Structure 1
Amino acid sequence: MKPAKLPDNELERLQALYQYDVLDTDAERVFDDLTELASQICETPICLISLVDPDRQWFKSKVGLDAQQTSREIAFCSHAILQDELFEVPNALEDERFFDNPLVTSAPDIRFYAGMPLKTPSGHNIGTLCVISEQPKKLTKQQRHALAILAREVISQLELRIQNKKLELANSFKTQFLSNVSHEIRTPLNAIIGLSDLLLQHKSLCDIDQQAKDYIQQIAFSGDRLLGIINSVLDLGKIESGNMELEPSPINLVEVLDKNTALLNIKAQQKGVIIESSNGLPEPTMAMMDATKLSQIFSNLLNNAIKFTPEHRHIFVNYHLINSDLIIEIKDQGVGISQADQACLFDKYVQVGKHKSEQEGTGLGLSITKGLVELMGGNISLISELGHGSTFRVCLPLTLIESPEQPAIAQYQGKLPCDLRVLIVEDNKVNQIVLQALLDNIGVSHDTVDTGEACLNQVLQHQYDLILMDINLPGISGLEATKQLKQDNYSSKIVALTADVFCRNEEKALFDDFLTKPIQIEGLRQALNKLFHARLS
């Protein structure tokens, strides 16, 4: 037996192998399919994807062999990686390099071997795609050619692994970046929107100075618009990173779609656009679906139609069922979309049909809509002609359910128990002021601390009905503080406050409710009323 010598570029070859991070990984169907195909084409009972490291040949995929690896010293593949063409041994018993090799003299009783080097784009042979038989033979020209093609496909799949890992890393960095952006921008927005909201409810100020009220309304409007832009960017980021999750619940499709149509009809009327709605759904039509995302899809498309439809023109809205699919069609008499623009309509980097006079929108609405539709397992299509309007059609698969008995709907009012006590846990001074002002306006007493450690000490000394817990705190985080309170069997309610929209469901499950900054007075009031059941008397 003659062991193979080491390649001249052994160090670089090993570095090329290690970059794939594939050694000792689980079997993968894509590689198993290639070995199965090579075995059939070459008419051999054994086929291996063999990767040669410093001491062994390890099999990423195998057909017809139980072993997972063998010593590099006795490996036929150690010889094969020394050349760039197919390495073929017609009869190992007649080859002085292998006649006394343990793999020849005992199982698997190799007689025939043909190995095609797995050459990386950098020119390094990291292993082979090899076929083996216990009978002497020789590959045909077509078989040799096919083996070479399949070996290149093995490398292509390994390269794809690298690209996927790079994408995963890039997505991770992007998610972290967007999470930081979300927190850093929403925190000052919390003050802008929250305080302007309170000022607009300050009747003495608004009654005395109309100009001041107008200024405050402009601040509130600009804050809401900036929040809308930020939400669009973050929604797109969540979809692309896979952090957007569906939250299905039993909903009445008729109720959800009719409500959204009615809300946007107000905007249409203000512009002089006429919405004609045709509902082909039986009442009620109950389904398990994420109502928020359905509303977002529908509102984005109808908003778009209103935006691009001139005064006195019509928009036709229709929703109906085909088998178990919900079909939504929105047809407008707007400006239409050219064939060239249709090709990039859902591209987040391109905004089509934008007129110089328009001052609103990010151009992300349709990209987000398409992402949400696909997340829900559906598809979206467009028929449009420049100057003759557009028709968007959405098809969403449904899980229809029986109509449940309607429970009595709890109605809440702003009046809460007079002895309600709240602990604010918030490190940002401006956010402290906002939350304190909001709670004062509602008539709820409160204390404030700025760290998780201070929160844990405070609840030992005072009784609270509710903790408003900021998640991002110096020292121990709001999550860690909440986990500690749960471990100590703390029974009062805890509501998370965060400016980060990328929180995971397992984090949300820790809390009784989850409020995303900026927090407005009505949202806070509804959350408190829901938690403490302040019903209409």
Structure 2
Amino acid sequence: MKIADLPKNEKERLKTLFSYGILDTEHEKAFDDLTILASEICECPIAMISLVDAKRQWYKSRIGVDIDCTSRDVAFCAHAILQDEIFEVRDTMLDERFADNPLVTNSPHIRFYAGAPLKSPSGLNIGTICVASDRPKTLSSKQSKSLLTLATSVMSQLELKLQSTKLILANSYKESFLSNISHDVRTPLNAIIGLSDLLTKNVELAAQFPAVTENLSQIDLSGKQMLKTLNALLEVGKIDAGVLNLEITHSDPSDYIKFVVNNLMIKANEKSIKVDVQIANDIPKTVAIDEAKFGCVLSNIINNAIKFSHSNSKVIVSASVLNETLILKVVDSGIGIQTEKIPYLFNQFAQITGQSQNNEGSGLGLSITKGLVELMHGHIDVQSKNKVGTTVTVSLPYKNVPTPSSSNIQTKNIPDTTNILVVEDNKVNQMVIAALLGAIPVQFKIVGTGEEAVTFGTNADFDLVLMDIHLPGISGIEATRRLRANKVKIPILALTADVYRSSREKALFDSFLTKPIALDQLVDAISQNLLIQATT
């Protein structure tokens, strides 16, 4: 018996083999089907997809044999990987290299073998697809060509698995990176926006120190602008990663459109642009829609219209309904877009600015807008003429919901006896949440660890818990699980600067608040959860 020589490129060959991550994995139908084809085409009872590592040949797929691997020293495939074409042994008993091979003298008593090398794109043979029989045999020309074709198919399957694995890993790294960015940047923004917002609303401070209040307003505005940029980047990441979900709420579309427009009026006024809002009379008072994403879509489109309009011009924002579809239309008479450039508008980081040199911005707005519209099962259309103007039309389906009656309890009616447990380890965030809760007539206690949360939440009389997710020791998620295991039934609201939490984690909590948290948002969340608790 002759042991096969090692390939000259053995080190590189093994590195390539290991890169596929295929060794010692479960059987897969795609490979088994190719093995069956090899057996049938070559008319052999034994067929295998064999991968040759440093000491053995391992079978990813096999028929006609009961073992998963053999020593490389006795492997026919160790000889086959030294070839670029079919390696064929027509009668092992007549070949001194194999006549006394244990695989010949013992089960499975191989008398015939043919193997086609599995050649990687870099030209390295990592194994074979092979056939064998207990009788002497010769492959026909057609069978030989077919076996080589099957070898190519095996490598295609291996490449497909490799790319799929890389994509999954890349998405995992991407989501982890964006999750960390979300948390690490939102945490300081929570302090900047939260405290500056509270201070700018302080009437006594504004009266006594108007210049300070003006500076605080600029800090607040800058923080919110930074948050918008961060949100834009995160929205792109979430859309690409497939982790962005709809969060349907009951919204008054007319009021919300006016709210979005009002938020953009400072920029419009700077250019003396009139924004004319035209809302049809038949728009429902309340609809079921993802208000936040709806607002982001509308804000991006109106912002672009203002940005690329001439001074002293007009932007028309209209809204109408058709067959439970909200039709939003934004028309400007600005610089317009060349027809051939319109298809590229929605590419990430594209900045199509017509004849303007105003390229400020990240180029993410319209890419995000299109992604959000499609997520909401809607459609966006752009019509434009260079130097004439642009019309953007968005169609969004919605569901009618009954208009709330005036007898409903006010959402901000929080009893002054309410006692809240706050779980937050960050000292600055503790100061922010204390300032926010100080503006509400409630009592509260702040603790800094998940262990303390479990102790106080289980043994003290609280009406609601505000639970940070990232904590030293046990996380806010684990603390919540333990509180629920201890039969604590009060509302637990998650506080996090990470927008990439999974739906399974969100299901643990009664509400999920993303930092930075505005006072109105906090008040609404507390009042709604207390109301639900009182009625159950």
Into which bin does the TM-score normalised by the smaller protein fall?
0.7 to 0.9
Change (3 A) 1:459 1:265: closer
Q: CA deviation at 1:138?
A: 2.6
2:118 and 2:151 in contact (8 A); partners too: yes
Aligned to 1:515: 513
Q: CA deviation at 1:106?
A: 9.1
2:480 and 2:508 in contact (8 A); partners too: yes
2:175 and 2:241 in contact (8 A); partners too: yes
1:315 and 1:332 in contact (8 A); partners too: no
Aligned to 2:314: 312
2:90 and 2:113 in contact (8 A); partners too: yes
CA distance in 1, matches of 2:83, 2:220: 72
1:413 and 1:534 in contact (8 A); partners too: no
1:438 to 436, 439, 458: 436
CA distance in 1, matches of 2:15, 2:36: 28
Amino acid at match of 2:420: V
2:253 and 2:287 in contact (8 A); partners too: no
Map 1:124-139 to 2 at 5 A. Answer: 124-131=124-131, 136-139=137-140
Deviations 1:221-261 (A, max 9, x none): 2221111111111222223334x242465x78xx7765654
Does 1:365 pair with 2:365? yes
Aligned to 2:183: 183
2:117 and 2:126 in contact (8 A); partners too: yes
SS in 1 for 2:481: helix
SS in 1 for 2:188: helix
Map 1:250-269 to 2 at 5 A. Answer: 261-264=257-260, 266=262, 267=264
Q: CA deviation at 1:414?
A: 3.2
SS in 2 for 1:424: strand
Aligned to 2:218: 218
Change (3 A) 1:328 1:534: closer
CA distance in 1, matches of 2:524, 2:85: 73
Q: CA deviation at 1:504?
A: 2.0
SS in 2 for 1:503: coil
Amino acid at match of 1:88: E
Map 1:240-319 to 2 at 5 A. Answer: 240-242=240-242, 244-247=243-246, 261-264=257-260, 266=262, 267=264, 271-274=273-276, 292-293=292-293, 296-297=296-297, 299-310=299-310, 311-312=313-314, 314=316
SS in 2 for 1:533: helix
Aligned to 2:427: 429
SS in 2 for 1:442: coil
Aligned to 1:416: 414
Aligned to 2:206: 206
CA distance in 2, matches of 1:415, 1:75: 79
CA distance in 2, matches of 1:411, 1:486: 28
CA distance in 2, matches of 1:436, 1:20: 53
Amino acid at match of 1:348: Q
Q: Which runs of 5+ in 2 are unaligned?
A: none
Deviations 1:149-177 (A, max 9, x none): 55345335434544444444444344333
Q: CA deviation at 1:390?
A: 4.9
Aligned to 1:71: 70
Change (3 A) 1:115 1:460: closer
Amino acid at match of 1:524: L
**Residue-pair matches, total:** 520
Aligned to 2:523: 525
1:36 and 1:47 in contact (8 A); partners too: yes
1:346 and 1:367 in contact (8 A); partners too: yes
Q: CA deviation at 1:463?
A: 2.3
2:193 and 2:220 in contact (8 A); partners too: yes
1:196 and 1:217 in contact (8 A); partners too: yes
Amino acid at match of 2:426: N
**Over aligned residues, Cα RMSD in angstroms?**
4.4
Change (3 A) 1:526 1:395: closer
Deviations 1:284-331 (A, max 9, x none): 9988x756445544554454345435523556767756xx99998767
Deviations 1:420-444 (A, max 9, x none): 1122222222222221121111111
Does 1:25 pair with 2:25? yes
2:317 and 2:329 in contact (8 A); partners too: no
1:305 and 1:315 in contact (8 A); partners too: no
TM-score, scaled relative to structure 1: 0.78
Q: CA deviation at 1:417?
A: 1.4
CA distance in 1, matches of 2:68, 2:124: 21
SS in 1 for 2:439: helix
Q: CA deviation at 1:345?
A: 3.3
CA distance in 2, matches of 1:38, 1:276: 70
Q: CA deviation at 1:94?
A: 6.0
1:463 to 452, 461, 464: 461
Q: CA deviation at 1:529?
A: 0.8
Aligned to 1:505: 503
Q: CA deviation at 1:382?
A: 5.3
CA distance in 2, matches of 1:388, 1:88: 74
Change (3 A) 1:67 1:121: same
Aligned to 1:493: 491
SS in 2 for 1:239: helix
Change (3 A) 1:454 1:384: same
